Structure 1
Amino acid sequence: MQIFVWTDGSTLLSRLHIPFEVIAPDIDERPKAGESPEATAIRLAREKAAAVVLLAPGALVIGSDQVATLDGEQIDKPGTHKNALQQLRKMRGRCVIFHTALCLWDGRQQHPETTAQIDNIQTFVTFRDLADAELEAYLRIEQPYDCAGSAKNEGLGIAILEKIDSSDPTALTGLPLIALTGMLRRVGFPFFTR
């Protein structure tokens, strides 16, 4: 059974001890006009999987995307130190919702588009109310300019977080493994008999 995953999920997927290949789909990740953050995450996860299944027909394909929101507004990847500091200032002492959408596309099926499994896992993250000097120091050390929310919870960013609430602890890092293993089981993936 071939499994393909987009590039961001490869580190987490390796924890499951299953063989997989990485393909980076070329997807426009900008939200559409009037699209909710949750809908954006779901659409992008599905589009990533659909793009990869065209390159790897007959395979199981995993697509995922994450959108962070504060007060219902999407939080983009900051890109620069200045933007990251602005994000962290705005989020300090507040709860940010991360929508991590997951799509498992079963390319072995005759009509795989109708058998794609999709889920959205919400993670509620409360940021500590830290002084600017601490936020600046964190950003200089970790430089999380490619992360929505300007913090890497799998790294030093955990020190600026006060609380994480989710049904799937790996969702915040980008690939909800509990949800994924459930999807893989539904398509008959043999986790312990290979």
Structure 2
Amino acid sequence: MIGNDIVSLDFAKNSKNWKNQRFLDKLFTKTEQNVIKLAQNPFVEIWKLWSLKESAYKLYVQRFNQRFYAPIQFECNFFKDEVTVSKEDFLCNTKTLQNENYVFSIAFQETVEVYSDCIKLKYSNYKYQSATTTLELKKAVSKHFNIAVQHLNVCKSEIGIPKIYFYNQVLPVDISLSHHGHYGAFSLVFK
């Protein structure tokens, strides 16, 4: 299983809430808020922590087949250069890639080989973001399994867990998709 999330930093600048204490209290624990306050760039740190929590949430949903909105329940734990995310008995590892354009995080429980890619998107409307990111994911799966892209389909379960199909057969690959602003990302774990 894999979870991911991407935040377009230019797009996030349009959010007026990121400096609001009520916003911070709804999303981040006191420890996380302290990390934000001490960061060289608090704006980027907020969105890094958000992407870590969101990627962990996506992994949690896959694991427990349960959706809800409670970012404060996911807590980032800091150990030197590593960050884990926990919620009660649930614990996952994370990796984050950040640059001047975006923050991209993945969450996983077992040590697995993850293939991820971040894509610059031409347009920022939701339908375009989703279609383009999904197509790039399908191209990567197509290449791995040597299957024509047009025979692949991504469908979500009732609670939003994506699976990739070759005709009507689920392929042995865990996937996670994310898009925000002018960036999309996908992560794959081949089983």
Fold match (TM-score > 0.5): no
Q: Which has the higher contact order (CA 8 A, sep 6+)?
A: 2
Pick the structure with greater CA Rg.
Answer: 1
What is the TM-score when the length of structure 2 is the normalising length? 0.29
Higher-strand-fraction structure? 2
What is the TM-score when the length of structure 1 is the normalising length? 0.29
